[in-house]
Amino acid sequence: MPAVQLDEITFENPFVEELRGEASGTSGSRQVPGYCYSRVAPTPVREPRLLAWSEELAEYLGLEKPAERGAAVAILAGNILTPSMKPFAARYGGHQFGNWAGQLGDGRAISLGQVPALDGSRWEIQLKGAGPTPYSRRADGRAVLRSSVREFLCSEAMHYLGVPTTRALSLVSTGDEVMRDIFYNGNAAPEPGAIVARVAPTFIRFGSFQLLAAHAEVDNLRALADYTIRHHYPELGAPSEEVYVRWFEEIARRTAVMVAHWMTVGFVHGVMNTDNMSVLGLTIDYGPYGWLEPYDPEWTPNTTDFGSRRYAFGQQPRVALWNLMALAQALVPLVADAQALRPALTVYADTLAASQHELLLAKLGLTPHNPAPDRALTEALPAALAGPAVDMTIFLRQLSRLVPALLAPGTNEAEVFSELLAKAAYLPAPGPDQGLLDWLARYAQRLRQEAGSPEAIQLGMLRANPKYVLRNYLAQQAIEAAEAGDLTPLETLFRVLKTPFDEHPEHEALAARRPDWASNKPVSATLSCSS
């Protein structure tokens, strides 16, 4: 089937056609009780230009790459709507930093509708930064190039790491400037605007159900639950009280798998509010995210969270459980016995532990052997890494490379471990960290019980441990170059992140430890919630 341009696609609109929505089409900020969405059109921009394009995602959707300027790019910027589109902004609420925030909604994101992929699945295309909606509150509905580059790159980088995630199709500059106070210090300044076309089967969130329950809109709550099950969980059967319970259990399971991936790849979401939790178990809303560099379970990339560190790396499993409990509370009106939802929380905990163990075994080149000692080994790794200032990404990649040496007869383990820590540690320690050395000795002993050849074990580990992740300072370098008109660093970084397990020797610098200058440079290590 030949690829076509975006302006030639017929959009489908089941969310708008099957759920109750506000049809006024006006964008003024207001409360919107009684509806699941508001019909609203994007606000045109001055001079849209295509900056980046996800070739592989576009190919899956049957789309041809557009020219830098033209009708397709105008659609991606919100300047043109085709006759089959029924654009809308979704209404939802949520807990932000643990506090109920009431109505939130798509304040700067506008969905155009669904398009079919080559395999027959349906994917929603949403423009982030497309202008004000009824849910914009005091904001302008726009996004800046800085945050848009980060969202575009990270959505795709996570996909290629194998992490459940929403996707990004395009990055378009608008030709307009947007005022932002990046440090929340009263010094707002103009920045170049941009729009990301985000893609997912749906962008329905935990908060979508929470707001309906909070306003006692039980009919809308049931309609949204039934819609979600029919379109996104059809394998569960026709909606019913029993199916609602199984559905919540499946949401819990998928959420656990997602968090297990985060924890084993070193990703920190940064803003795990309930309105930022996908009902499909996908990573959604890339704001002040980051990757662990010096391993620290208390680290958060979000400066807004420095006081409580609610969303720190090590807190993510607990917060996801808290968020699931909030979703369960919202679903109580749909079931006669609220206790029927409780077992799903155990499913979450069990799935998280099992998934994290399975992922770590693969990263360590181990096959299931002796459950109790193997589980003890993988569960001890985080504490071992937390002792010294070790970069988890580099540690696991270097460990993969050193496996043949560890398995060679007569190997001096101390020398191998010393080489590993020299490459993975950030700060020179006064002496070897005994906790990590003890763990490495246990690991080496367990590794020798594997039946595979050293080469086969190493190959499997190299396929499980990425060399390249989207470190914040790398994203910031690409942003600064793009703001200056040079897209080469963005293009290079994007290309490497699509094959993060490959060596790319010509781009070795992109796999290096975070340089000292980046640890304190604004937005090169930590960020605020500002767009």
Task: Going from the first residue of the chain to its last (531 residues), give the mean pLDDT of each consecutive group of 10, the final group possibly shorter.
Answer: 90 98 84 97 97 98 97 97 97 98 98 97 98 93 97 98 98 96 82 97 98 98 98 98 98 98 98 98 96 94 94 98 98 98 98 98 95 96 88 96 93 90 74 84 95 96 98 97 98 98 98 90 80 46
> What pLDDT shows up at residue 434?
86
Give pLDDT, residue 433: 78
Is 287:244 a contact under the CB 8 Å cutoff?
Answer: no
pLDDT, one tens digit per residue, over 252-289 is 999 999 999 999 999 999 999 999 999 999 999 999 99
Q: Which of 275, 285, 305, 433 is catalytic?
A: 275
The candidate with the shortest Cα–Cα distance to 195, out of 50, 89, 6, is 50
CB 316 within 8 A of CB 263: yes
Please give the pLDDT value at position 431: 57
226 is catalytic: no
Contacts of 445 (CB under 8 A, 6+ apart): none
Strand-pairing partners, residue 128, are: 109, 196
Using CA atoms, how far residue 264 sits from 253, 379, 453, 465, 499, in Å, is 17, 11, 25, 10, 18
Helix ranges (DSSP H) in 216-271: 218-232, 241-265
Q: Give the distance from CA 433 to its chain's centroid.
A: 33
Q: Please count the other Cβ atoms lying within 10 Å of the Cβ belonging to residue 230.
A: 15
The pLDDT tens digits for 287-315 are 999 999 999 999 999 999 999 999 999 99
Task: Give pTM, 2 decimals.
Answer: 0.97
